[in-house]
Amino acid sequence: MSDVKLEDIVSLCKRRGFIFPGSDVYGGLSGTWDYGPLGVQLKRNVMQLWWKMFVEDRDDMFGIDAAILMNQKVWQASGHVDTFTDPLVECSNCHGRFRADKIDTSKCPTCGKTGTFGEPRAFNMMFKTFIGPNQGEELTIGAPIDADEENRGRVDLEGRKAITYEPSSVSYLRPETAQGIFTNFKNVVDTIYPDLPFGLAQQGKAFRNEISPRDFVFRSREFEQMEIEYFVHPDQWEAEFEKWVKAVHEWCKALGLPDDSVHELEVPETDRAHYSKRTIDFEFDFPIGREELLGLAYRTDFDLQNIQRVSGKNLEYRPKDGSAPFVPHVIEPSFGLERAIMAVLSAAYTVDEVNGEKREYLKLPEHLAPVKVAVSPLLKNKPELVAKAREVYTMLKKEFGNVMWDDNGNIGKRYRRQDEIGTPYCVVIDFETLEGETADTVTVRNRDTTEQERVKIAELVAKLSK
Ligand code: ATP
């Protein structure tokens, strides 16, 4: 269990411009969060790291970027229309609504009354929307499947119970990015014909109408996923699954998460999603307790078979050695960006003492820090210091991009401010930079050790690139 308090992270994030409550100026909108200047940079750094590790650095992975709005058949065929539900209970006294599997239903967590909950009902978490101007259409729900004229175009999920029929204008905000990958499997194979096994990776928004969004960005209604569908020969899934277990641990390491704070939970069959034959939840010791950071699931050929059946298109892969075609099986590592950010912040949040004073800072891995280096003239009213500092700033900005100019307050305050947002280095241009033996050197101050060293300007880029 982490000894960091969630409220310390939430307050630092708001105070320093990482993450704000969504629609804050109008009193907020539950389950939504906005990223400020530092937050968006942190988020991009995490996304870029993921893309580099799992797409750019590998030969067997390819990127895709599918539309958020998809044909409703996608969500019928995938089973989401029928089964993407959470158990909802409502308190008969205060009318508070909760997820039955997340609370003790003998007593209402809001009003404290006992025995106020009835049987849970299945609440579908997809956000429904209408495409085009025909919003008035009636919904027909749960009609039995039938091959007659009236039911033409509707979807039959063999062997599975209810079908939910919708008018053609209905669509959903995607509750996962995965389906955008599956529906493009054929396009990718037909165009670039990769060797198997290969994977398709996608980053993007997902939406779930969570019954009770909570715990900062951990459970949001709008969030970002980074997902991979890795297509394998059915005989190979176990070996490939093990490789992904290792790859996930490497990812956690790259995020700066201590090894002993990441745990594998083998999900028992009764708790697995309907499509999965094996799932490991990777849990992290968040300030709110040990909770799911990301999931790794063996989805069999469930999705491709469904699409094949419903679309009538052949999704078999033809091996290049001429052996028999088959529908590939899939291993899916599914990463939540917000949970990654929350884990990174929790692992980085540190309190220590410097010169007898409490210091609160983010010990972020350098490759994730929103500001790589801050540049300051020792005094902002000395034009010769400012001019030299501007030169150094311009040079570093060209090289690293995320470089901040900081000349506010005294140097101690600047260090504290930069520490608090996790800036690994502060470069200061002082009078020694301008003359004598130390001409053209600057001080570089290290966030973690607070030590300073003099470095030649000409060697600065190399020094900071390490
Ligand atoms: P949980 O059990 O916590 O609701 P889940 O098992 O439904 O999560 P998946 O469907 O496996 O989650 O989604 C994959 C990943 O997407 C999760 O591991 C998580 O990182 C992220 N994720 C899912 N739901 C949310 C949410 N409401 N807010 C933020 N991230 C989420």
Q: Is 283 in the same domain as 190?
A: yes
DSSP H or E run through 465 = helix 460-465
User: Per-residue pLDDT averaged across 122-142, rounded?
Assistant: 69
Structural domain ending residue among the three candidates 345, 362, 396: 345
> Between these two residues, 273 and 389, which has the higher pLDDT value?
389
More confident residue, 249 or 169: 249
- The answer as to whether 439 is a domain residue is yes
CA distances from 261 to 112, 258, 291, 365 (A): 34, 5, 11, 16
Residue 248 located in a structural domain: yes
User: What's the 248 CA to ligand 1 centre distance in angstroms?
Assistant: 16
Query: Is it the case that residue 155 has pLDDT exceeding 80?
Result: no
What are the tokens at 114? Answer: 């006992």
Q: Transcribe 75-108 into DSSP letters.
A: HHHTTHHHH-EEEEEEBTTT--EEEGGGS-TTB-
Span from the CA of 145 to the centroid of ligand 1 (angstroms): 32
pLDDT band at 1 (very low <50, low <70, confident <90, very high): low
Domain extent for 192? 6-70+176-345
pLDDT at residue 140, as a whole number: 40
pTM: 0.91
Does a structural domain hold residue 62? yes
Percent of the chain with pLDDT over 70: 92
For residues 190 and 242, state if they share a domain: yes
Q: Do residues 296 and 331 make contact, with C-beta atoms less than 8 angstroms apart?
A: yes
Number of domains observed in the structure of the chain: 2
CA–CA dist 325, 308 (Å, integer)? 14
Q: Which of 292, 293, 294, 296, when mutated, tests ligand 1's pocket best, judged by the most ligand atoms within 8 Å of its CB? A: 292
* Angular region, 152: left φ>0, alpha ψ -120 to 50, beta rest: beta
CATH number of the domain that 450 lies in? Answer: 3.40.50.800
Q: Of 13-17, 100-104, 348-352, 385-389, where does mean pLDDT reach its minimum?
A: 100-104
Instruction: State the amino acid at position 249 in one-letter form.
Output: H
Ligand 1, residues at Cβ distance < 6 Å: 208, 210, 219-220, 223, 225, 292, 294-295, 334, 336, 338-339
Nearest alpha carbon, ligand 1 atom 9:
295
pLDDT of residue 134: 57
Residue 106 lies in a domain: no
In a domain, 143, yes or no: no
* 267-313: pLDDT as tens digits: 999 988 878 899 999 999 999 999 999 999 999 999 999 999 999 99
The confidence score (pLDDT) of residue 154 equals 45
Are 384 and 295 contained in the same domain?
no
Residues 413, 324 share a domain: no
Element (H, E) at 232: strand 222-232
CA distance 177 to 205: 7
- In the prediction, which pLDDT does 166 show? 59
Closest CA to 29 of 230, 213, 259, 273: 213
**Rounded to the nearest whole angstrom, what is the distance from the C-alpha of residue 89 to the centroid of ligand 1?**
20
Inform me whether the pLDDT recorded for 153 exceeds 90.
no
Q: Please check whether residue 198 is in contact with residue 231, taking contact to mean a CB–CB distance below 8 angstroms.
A: yes
Structure tokens at 333: 């590592």
Give yes or no: residues 315 and 195 share one domain: yes
Say if residue 340 is in the same domain as residue 381: no
Instruction: Identify the residue whose C-alpha is closest to ligand 1 atom 29.
Output: 219
Q: Are residues 195 and 248 in the same domain?
A: yes
**Which tokens in the block code for residue 370?**
């929103």
* Protein residue whose Cα sits closest to atom 4 of ligand 1: 219
Where residue 399 falls among pLDDT bands split at 50, 70, 90?
very high
List the CATH number of the domain containing 255: 3.30.930.10
Are 242 and 376 part of one and the same domain? no
Top-confidence residue, 438 or 149: 438
Residue 21 within a domain: yes
Is the domain of 330 the same as that of 290?
A: yes
In a domain, 268, yes or no: yes
Distance between CA 260 and CA 428 in Å, rounded? 37
Q: Are 180 and 66 in contact (CB under 8 A)?
A: yes
